[in-house]
Every structure is written in structure tokens, then in C-alpha cells.
Amino acid sequence: MVTASPTLHDAIDEILPGLVADRRHLHEHPELGMQEVETAKFVAARLAQLGVEDIRTGVANTGVTGLIRGTGSGPGGAKVLLVRADMDALPIEEENDVEYRSQTPGIMHACGHDGHTAMLLATARLLTGRRDEFAGTVKLVFQPSEEMPPGGARPMIDAGVLEDPRVDAALGLHLAQEQPLGTIAAAAGPTMAAADMFFMTIKGKGGHGAMPHTTVDPIVAGAQIVSALQTIVSRERDPLTPAVVTVGAFLAGSAPNVIPDTATLRGTVRSFSADERQRLADRIRELSSGIATAMGAEVELDYVFGYPATSSAAEMVEIVNAAATEVVGAENVLVKVPTMGGEDMSYFLNEVPGAFFHVGSRNPERGLVWGHHHPKFDIDEAALGIGVEVMVASVLRYFATA
């Protein structure tokens, strides 16, 4: 039985300075989704140094993959475990005054993906040094463009990343600024929502604001539609099954005395299952076109399905929780409370059983409290070592028990 021995913990302490340096290098040089050219070069060079096999670059634009083949013996010998990190930054101007501040104006690693990339490199470093401690193959996946739907995971799957060799299971993590440093959180089932969008045009007939009887007012129809959409969640669904319908934009007209021809609504819709997701889309279509028709207007609806819900498999969560218990203690292994945020790790988890776990990085004592996507976002870097230790221990445990 392979476990996270004190040796692994000592090894983390040893590599932590390098891990922090990598994260800071990436933080200083952020790149937006599908443009992670320098990041991918950095990653590929590191993997080559480590002796990672079968390094492939340019996978779905800027993605990088590599293999680490274990030489140990054990039940997981034929298994392939995918471990994924996302690499992209956000179009945000950094407001932190730190020595590793972003050097690219208007772009910042404000979600922690710099940390994820550095952590997967450190995971590779530890696993290449421990090939004799596991049987099986680790497939490292550095993914582009998590922040920008349609994302980088789906194109990587389309490019064949789950084949050659065929992947049996997947692990991924996210730094979590809402979670205290030293905690790990995971849960079986969906923990992050499906994130869909709609773009609606209500077509009426414009005219003089003083002669409404000669027009079809798209603003009034739009207002009715906005109100009616609120009843989908509040009146039609089980209150114990969460969902969100938000109209985030209502654009129409410009003059006080003119009824415009059209009004535009844009919204986001979040849910946790494929069925619910489809039902919400159907109801938004039915309600909006029904109301528009009743008022003499027409609706054009562009409904965009984004990332599906992120759902972990119970047996993989068990592996992560057992590993996390060794690293941070049972009292710091939390049950992940679902959030309405979206994540394209979901595409991997829809194809193979896997787990996505959250690594606490919040430290109020050091003022590290700003949330993801905030211009002052910054993590407690001690979280990097904890996350790597849990990830390596989970990988070893997977192959020992697979």
C-alpha cells in the first residue's frame, strides 16, 4: 500500500521554493485563453527537463500534454490517469503592489491558473522522481482557455486527448479563495453549475411615443418577458433543486418620446443537471415567444449552451479525501458546497470518472481575502504545496487501489 509518507511531505518542502518561483514567473507573464504561447513553451521546456515522455504541444492551439509511466507494480498497472491544469489569465488590470505583479497591461492571473499550472509542473516533478512507487500512466494535461467559453477542454477532447493512451479517470483542482488556507474541499455529484447564456431580440414596431396605438412596443413586451422569466425558477421548479435565471442586460430605445423597433435581452442560466438544463432552455423559449405573440411582437432567441455542470464521481472523491486526510487532517477535509460558477473541467468529468477538488488559499491575517476575478486577487502560496501534496498522494492512491 502506497501512502503519502513523511517522505512526500519532506519532498514538498524541498520543491516549494521552485514551485513558488514558477507560479510567480507565470503570474508576471499572463496570457489570455488560446494565446498561452509563452506559457505553453515554459511548460513544455519544464516537462522536457523532467524527462516526461511523449510531450505534445499545440494540442487545441496552445495545450500541452505529456506522459509519466510508472515502473512499480500494483493493481493500477494498466490504468491511465489524466491530471489537468488550466493555463489562461483574465482581461483585468492587476491592482496588487507585489514584486511578481503582472507585467502585461490589462491582463492578470486573477483566478489562480498560474498556481494550477505551477502545481501540475511540481506534481510532474515529484511523480517523475517516484516512477517506481506506482504502476500505471499519468497523462499530464495543460489546458488553454478555461475562462472563455467554449473553453479549451472540449477542443482538447476533440483533438484526442482522452485517447492514445486511453484515459480511465481524471483529477483536477482549483485554488479557492473562499476557503481557508489548509483546507481541501470536494464532493460527489455536481458542485459547479452548467452555465448557459441567451441573447433575445424582441421585434415590435416603432413609432411616436404619443401614439402607442400605432406601434407594437417591444419595451413593454420585454418587461413582461423579464417578469415572466423570474417565475421559471420561483414557480415551476422544485425549490430544493437550485437554478438561476438572470437577465443581465435589457437594451432598448434612446429617446423619451420614441417607441423603438426592437429590444434586446441578454441573460445567464445556471443549473446542475442535463435534464434541468434543457427544461430551462425550453421554458425560456416558450414563455418569451408566447408573451411576445400575445402582444403582437416577435422573439428571436439565440440560446447558447456553455459548460456543463462539474460533477465528481464518488469513488474518485473518496480517493482524494483519503489523500487529503493524510495531508491536512480529517478536520480540514470539507464537503464542497455547490456554487453556481462554471468550469470546463466538466467536459473531462463527463467522459471519465474523476474528481475536482478545491484547495483553500485564503489568509485574512495576510490580507489575502480578495475573491477570484478581482483585481486584488492573490493567494497564500503555502496552498500551492498543500495542493501538490494532495494531488500526488491522490495519484499514488489511485494506482494503488484502481
In the complex, what is the shortest distance from the CB of residue 110 to Ni ion, in angstroms, rounded to a whole number?
Answer: 9
- Residue of 88, 114, 168, 276 marked catalytic: 88
- Residue 162 CB contacts under 8 Å (≥ 6 apart), including other chains: 82, 348, 351, 352
How far is it, in rounded angstroms, from Cα 402 to Cα 397? 8
In the complex, what is the shortest distance from the CB of residue 87 to Ni ion, in angstroms, rounded to a whole number?
Answer: 11
Q: Which stretch binds Ni ion (CB under 5 A): 9-17, 109-117, 290-298, 362-370?
A: 109-117
Query: Quick check: is 146 catalytic?
Result: yes
In the complex, what is the shortest distance from the CB of residue 91 to Ni ion, in angstroms, rounded to a whole number?
Answer: 14
Judged by beta carbon, residue 190 or residue 222, the one nearer Ni ion is 190
In the complex, what is the shortest distance from the CB of residue 111 to Ni ion, in angstroms, rounded to a whole number?
Answer: 4
Q: Which stretch binds Ni ion (CB under 5 A): 105-113, 253-261, 305-313, 392-400?
A: 105-113
Q: Which of 111, 119, 245, 259 binds Ni ion (CB under 5 A)?
A: 111
**CA 295 to chain CA mean position, Å:** 41
Total residues belonging to the chain: 402
In the complex, what is the shortest distance from the CB of residue 324 to Ni ion, in angstroms, rounded to a whole number?
Answer: 20
Which three cell numbers mark 50? 523532467
Which three cell numbers mark 188? 460527489
Identify the helix (H) or strand (E) that includes residue 45.
Answer: helix 37-50
26 is an interface residue for Ni ion by CB under 5 A: no
80 is an interface residue for Ni ion by CB under 5 A: no
In the complex, what is the shortest distance from the CB of residue 86 to Ni ion, in angstroms, rounded to a whole number?
Answer: 6
Judged by beta carbon, residue 62 or residue 128, the one nearer Ni ion is 62
In the complex, what is the shortest distance from the CB of residue 192 to Ni ion, in angstroms, rounded to a whole number?
Answer: 10
Angle in degrees, 0-180, between the axes of helices 6-28 and 382-401, rounded to the nearest 10: 130
Cα-Cα-Cα-Cα dihedral sign, residues 336, 341, 342, 343: negative
Phi, psi dihedral angles at 320 (to 5 degrees) = -65, -45
- What totals of helices (H) and strands (E) does the chain contain, helices first? 9, 16
Judged by beta carbon, residue 62 or residue 137, the one nearer Ni ion is 62
Nearest-CA neighbor of 274 among 233, 303, 310? 310
Q: Is 147 annotated as a binding residue?
A: yes
Q: Which stretch binds Ni ion (CB under 5 A): 106-114, 233-241, 249-257, 287-295?
A: 106-114
Per the listing, cell 479557492 goes with 176
Judged by beta carbon, residue 109 or residue 125, the one nearer Ni ion is 109
Judged by beta carbon, residue 111 or residue 169, the one nearer Ni ion is 111
Query: Pattern 313-352, binding to Ni ion, x per CB under 5 A?
Result: ----------------------------------------
Does residue 117 contact residue 389 with C-beta atoms inside 8 Å? no
- Count residues near Ni ion (CB under 5 A): 1
153 is an interface residue for Ni ion by CB under 5 A: no
Q: Is 374 annotated as a binding residue?
A: no
- Residue of 22, 36, 146, 381 marked catalytic: 146
Identify the helix (H) or strand (E) that includes residue 69.
Answer: strand 63-69
User: Could you tell me what percentage of the chain is helix, strand and coil, using 3-state DSSP and rounding each to the nearest 5?
Assistant: 40, 25, 35
384 is an interface residue for Ni ion by CB under 5 A: no
Does residue 343 contact residue 176 with C-beta atoms inside 8 Å? no
**Other CB atoms within 10 A of residue 138 CB:** 26
Q: Which of residues 248-277 bind Ni ion (CB under 5 A)?
A: none
Q: Which residue is nearest to Ni ion (CB)?
A: 111
Q: Is 174 annotated as a binding residue?
A: yes
Q: Which stretch binds Ni ion (CB under 5 A): 23-31, 111-119, 148-156, 250-258?
A: 111-119
Query: Quick check: is 88 catalytic?
Result: yes
Residue 44 zone, left/alpha/beta (φ > 0; ψ -120 to 50; rest): alpha
How far is it, in rounded angstroms, from Cα 259 to Cα 207? 5
Annotated binding site: 111, 113, 147, 174, 373
Catalytically annotated residues: 88, 146
Annotated binding site for Mn(2+): 111, 113, 147, 174, 373
Residues found near Ni ion in the complex (CB under 5 A): 111
